[in-house]
Amino acid sequence: MKKIIKLWFDNERIFIETADGNRQSQPLRFFPRLQRATDIQREEWTESYFGLHWEKIDEDISFESFTWDDNDPLTLFHHN
């Protein structure tokens, strides 16, 4: 399980820093509910074994998603 020691946002991205010093980010456009959330709603997150959860806006982000490239996440599920 990752241990998040810092989570923050800018206008376009969500960032995390883990206890081992690893920093990762993802575009907020991947997470529309989180993108539309207020600063206060964004601050109310919890960490689970698999990722991050925001109860009031019903949003979940897996730790795995932070390892994806900055491509549209929907293309990961389309097969040619």
pTM recorded for the entire structure: 0.81
Instruction: Give the C-alpha separation, 63 to 80, whole Å.
Output: 27
Domain boundaries, the chain: 4-77
Instruction: Give the C-alpha separation, 33 to 40, whole Å.
Output: 13
Task: Check pLDDT > 50 for residue 10.
Answer: yes
- The fold of the 4-77 domain, in CATH, is NE0471 N-terminal domain-like (3.30.2020)
pLDDT, tens digit (0-9, with 9 covering 90-100), for 30-72:
999 999 999 999 999 999 888 999 999 999 999 988 888 765 5
Could you tell me how many residues make up the chain? 80
